[in-house]
Amino acid sequence: MENKIFVGNLSFEVSKEDLEKHFSEFGEIEETRLITDRFSGKSKGFGFITFKEKESADKAIQETNNKEFHGRELKVSIAKPMENKPRFQKRRF
């Protein structure tokens, strides 16, 4: 998980290809995920990039966090695992 980064505050016009092109200069990328709304298909403004090596992820964070990309200041950090909590709470009536 240390080789996977979170990229936030993305412009809604940024594509998966834009992300890959921008971050590939830091090392070999294994996977790029741009998170989209399941109903509209539009970007939610964040994504994840998994690099082959941890050093590439560290360099990408150093070089791109708080830097402008497509008119927005990126927020880049090591990705944190999702907490195991229910997405929907059951209501009692």
Residue 30: inside a domain, yes or no?
A: yes
Residue 65: inside a domain, yes or no?
A: yes
Residue 89: inside a domain, yes or no?
A: no
- CA separation for the pair 67, 76 (Å, rounded): 9
Number of domains in the chain: 1
Per-residue pLDDT of the chain in tens (93 residues, 90 and over written 9): 689 999 999 999 999 999 999 999 999 999 999 999 999 999 999 999 999 999 999 999 999 999 999 999 999 999 998 777 666 666 665
Q: Which domain holds residue 69?
A: 4-78
Residue 38: inside a domain, yes or no?
A: yes
* pTM (predicted TM-score): 0.85
